[in-house]
Structure 1
Amino acid sequence: MAASTMTTDVFQLGKYETVLIKVATSPSDLANPPPKPLLIGAPAEAAGEFPVMVLLHGFMMETSFYSQLIRHVSSHGFIVVAPQLYTCSGSNSADEINAAAATTNWLSQGLAAVLPPQVRSNLSKLVLAGHSRGGKDAFALALGKSSTPLALPFSALIGIDPVDGLASCCCHIQTKPAVLTYVAQSFDLKMPVMVIGSGLGEDKKCGVLPACAPKGLNHAEFFKECRSPAWRFLALDYGHMDMLDDDTPGLRGLISYCSCKNGRSREPMRRFVGGVAVAFMRAYLEDDDGHVTALKDTPDIAPVQITVEVRL
């Protein structure tokens, strides 16, 4: 009972007030600007040292669309750094993988200057996460597929409905560099991994548009290729974009609503993704596995209906 109560807390906002910080690539007041524009979420006033998550956005999405998710994670005592990797991209994601590596390398030299004065980053506890194509990019970076060498090691990896493909008008093509090998437990990641899947991701929107997370290119195959320790949480009644903000303005925001099959509202899925990410990071960064263990043992405490698969 105590574990269930504790785990429910991760699906609510945490104890820290948060601030969202936008950082451009050429601000006049920064001696070491980042290689890509950033949206950073951090505790606003509490002094302390906090783990860091690098969050990679989905295909053609904007980092601002993840503001509510970023605030949720940050409110539990984490710094979230979300680079805008590109504004337009095609079937080759090599440039954005390199940009993610360059952003990661920038953290040790540039992050402190843009955080609130009393907030410090703990880069020995560094998590890599990504949504959709950003999830594929995160796996690619963790697997060493960047031509930009990494200066910092990652402690854990989170794939939020990752997809190793790009939808065309009638089908999906695997994007380059390919990540999926279709060989079980072939990923030599040397870190714990969590994969979050959407139950509606394999469904076509209105029965016509290509599925946003098609079978064979989605979370199930990513998890299959992970070695232990690996976790997979599948939100059965929610879609590929349902962890984004409620309000995603502009054409790209409209696409986020119109291109994929969605659940009834985004709020429950967003709380689930934020909460399970916090639970996973506490387990592997802070040696507190009560949250993920309770979810495994009692999945109905989650705000959405889930199935859980674990390989320890």
Structure 2
Amino acid sequence: MSVFDDGDYPTVLLKIEPKRACADERKLRNSEPPTPLLIATPSKEGEFPVLLLIHGYLLYIDFYSQLIQHIASHGFIVIAPQLYTIAGPDTTGEIHNTAAIIKWLPTGLKDVLPSSVLPKIDKLAISGHSRGGKVAFALALNKLTTSSLKISALIGIDPVDGMDKGKQTPPAVLSYVPKSFNLEGMPTLVIGSGYGEMKKNAFFPACAPKGVNHENFYDECQNPAWYFLVEDQGHLDMLDDETKGVRGKSTYCLAKNGKSREPMRRFVGGVIVAFLNAYLQGYDSQLLLIKDGNDATPVSFSKVDHR
């Protein structure tokens, strides 16, 4: 079975909303997460590693439902928190909110999952798309705060650190010093889109401009690190086939897109599965097949690198 196809595990999609504490009870119970969550999990009995997926700028977690279900079908619990609905350039709040969610996981996650499903909290990976990729890297690098749990793997999905080189959003993550990310041996995967640095039209800037995009993030990664650059696909092509509402419709207008979203979404999901299997589950055959071109991928990639 290819990692680009749906896996063997039946999945369920859970929407978890924290209850609002009353005026005289400000603390949330352990079972209530700090922010709304969308969770894709196997519904079959078992114990599964956990992946946290941080959404892109001004995007809704519902837009990632097909991607996280694809990953979950291969035996992972995928958690997508809604960190905000409106935000300015500063990502400080998102970094602290992500740290709060990680702190909640050991006591609260098991209470919102199916009773037969157990999370392997000691096998936690963090990922992020676009600005969410910057947030994931910032937390892994201990900028502003630290994670209460060990992060075992880090993934940037077309990560972005601002509008352009010299115009990074605070706190800046990129230093422009090769191999400068001190991740203490944490394995890292960076996925880039070929169209991300291109403008859709004259009215909107590129979503992942040169100087602050996937190339720069990978350049600063230390070993072990993997990099895939996908041709002919856009910055938002890993989202659901249909994204509704005003923001959902705008995702088709703001970025240069490929012919359809499904190929990029299946590629991103499959590479993430292969990467997590390599570094959380202990077998790297799937990842090596993709690197060597021996697994039929749903997209063409112009560059692959591993160190």
Report the TM range for the smaller structure's normalisation: over 0.9
CA offset at residue 39 of structure 1?
0.4
The TM-score, its normalising length taken from structure 2, stands at 0.94
Is it true that 1:189 corresponds to 2:183 in the alignment?
A: yes
Letter matched to residue 173 of structure 1: K
> Cα 1:213–1:271, aligned 2, differ >3 Å: closer, same or farther?
same
Is the partner of 2:251 in helix, strand or coil? helix
Is the partner of 2:265 in helix, strand or coil? helix
- The CA distance in 1 between the partners of 2:297 and 2:20, in whole Å, is 42
Question: Aligned-residue CA RMSD in angstroms?
Answer: 1.7
- The CA distance in 1 between the partners of 2:207 and 2:237, in whole Å, is 12
Instruction: Map Cα deviations across residues 185-243 of structure 1 (whole Å, 9 max, x no partner).
Output: 00011200000000000111035421110011100000000001111111111000000
Q: Name the residue aligned to 1:17.
A: 10
- The CA distance in 1 between the partners of 2:30 and 2:176, in whole Å, is 45
CA contact 2:74–2:273 (8 Å) conserved in 1:
yes
CA offset at residue 300 of structure 1?
6.9
Letter matched to residue 79 of structure 1: I
Alignment of 1:100-249 (within 5 A): 100-147=98-145, 149-166=146-163, 173-190=167-184, 191-249=186-244
CA contact 1:296–1:308 (8 Å) conserved in 2:
no
CA contact 1:94–1:177 (8 Å) conserved in 2:
yes
CA contact 2:266–2:298 (8 Å) conserved in 1:
yes
Letter matched to residue 169 of structure 2: T
Instruction: Map Cα deviations across residues 60-106 of structure 1 (whole Å, 9 max, x no partner).
Output: 00000000001000000000011100011111000011000100110
- The CA distance in 1 between the partners of 2:208 and 2:56, in whole Å, is 12
> Cα 1:112–1:27, aligned 2, differ >3 Å: closer, same or farther?
farther
- The CA distance in 2 between the partners of 1:139 and 1:31, in whole Å, is 27
Is it true that 1:295 corresponds to 2:293 in the alignment?
A: no
The TM-score, its normalising length taken from structure 1, stands at 0.92
- The CA distance in 1 between the partners of 2:280 and 2:302, in whole Å, is 24
Q: Name the residue aligned to 2:255.
A: 260
Is the partner of 1:173 in helix, strand or coil? coil
Is the partner of 2:96 in helix, strand or coil? helix
CA offset at residue 146 of structure 1?
3.2
Q: Name the residue aligned to 1:88.
A: 86
Q: Name the residue aligned to 1:310.
A: 305
Name whichever of 200-209 and 94-103 sits farther off.
200-209
- The CA distance in 2 between the partners of 1:128 and 1:226, in whole Å, is 15
CA contact 2:103–2:148 (8 Å) conserved in 1:
yes
CA contact 1:231–1:308 (8 Å) conserved in 2:
no
Gaps of 5+ in 1: 1-5
More helix by share: 1
CA contact 1:196–1:233 (8 Å) conserved in 2:
yes
- The CA distance in 2 between the partners of 1:174 and 1:11, in whole Å, is 34
Q: Name the residue aligned to 2:97.
A: 99
- The CA distance in 2 between the partners of 1:40 and 1:133, in whole Å, is 20
CA contact 1:101–1:146 (8 Å) conserved in 2:
no
CA contact 2:102–2:147 (8 Å) conserved in 1:
yes
> Cα 1:205–1:172, aligned 2, differ >3 Å: closer, same or farther?
farther
- The CA distance in 1 between the partners of 2:202 and 2:144, in whole Å, is 37
- The CA distance in 2 between the partners of 1:91 and 1:117, in whole Å, is 40
CA offset at residue 164 of structure 1?
0.2
CA contact 1:30–1:113 (8 Å) conserved in 2:
no
Letter matched to residue 254 of structure 1: K
CA contact 2:15–2:37 (8 Å) conserved in 1:
yes
CA offset at residue 255 of structure 1?
1.7
